[in-house]
Amino acid sequence: MKLQRSPVAPRIGLTPLIDVVFILLLFFMLATSFQQSHSILLKFSTGTAPNPQTDRPVLTLRLTPNELLFDGRTIRVAQLAAQLDQRLASEPALTVVVRGASMVSVQRMVQVVDQLRLSRVVDYQLDMDTKR
């Protein structure tokens, strides 16, 4: 029997390629995350004294789950940056201590730290109120 050779070269089908490509697409769609992560430095005061540099002015903010005390006055967290800007104008070397109650959520503390960032406070410390 004589084998007849086809004059046309055998074609490679595109269908398996498409299958693989779709599986790759599915994998990357499911495995990829677009959530961007950033970070903030956690600076908790270590000793009993919140600020060892006593020559620098210190502003202590008291944070509870419901209120934020700035100089003994209750303010909203969103107002903090504006209040701090006023204070920083007269005292540029201000150290801010955020003293939070232990029940305050991490999110609330981060909101306060964000306000410090907005006012460009570089020197801040976190502290936990053990009394409450």
Partner 1 sequence: MARRDPVFPGKRRARIVIAAGHDATANDDEENLVPLINLVFLLIVFFLLAGTIDQRDTIPVSPPRSISDEPVPDRRLVVSALADGMVYLNGRPVARGELTGALVREAATHAAPGIDSAMYNPGGSPDRRVVHLRADASLSLGQLRSLLVLIEDAGVSETRLQTRVP
> Which chain residues interact with partner 1 by CB under 8 A?
8, 11, 13-14, 17-18, 21-22, 24-25, 28-29, 31-42, 44, 100-107, 109-111, 113-114, 117-118, 128
Please answer whether residues 98 and 58 qualify as being in contact, where contact means their C-beta atoms are separated by less than 8 angstroms. no
Is 44 or 90 the residue whose CB approaches partner 1 more closely? 44
Say which DSSP state 44 is in: B
CB of 55 vs partner 1, minimal distance in Å: 26
CB of 23 to partner 1, least distance (A): 10
Choose between 83 and 100: whose C-beta lies nearer to partner 1: 100
User: Closest CB to partner 1 among 26 and 93?
Assistant: 26
Name the minimum Å distance from CB 39 to partner 1: 4
Backbone dihedral angles phi then psi of residue 79, each to the nearest 5 degrees: -85, -10
Q: What are the distances in angstroms from CA 25 to CA 20, 31, 34, 128?
A: 9, 10, 15, 48
- Residue 68, SS3? strand
CA distance linking residue 33 with residue 125, whole number of Å: 33
Least Cβ distance, residue 7 to partner 1 (angstroms): 11
For residue 40, the tally of other CB atoms under 10 A from its CB is: 11
Residue number with CB closer to partner 1 (58 or 64): 64
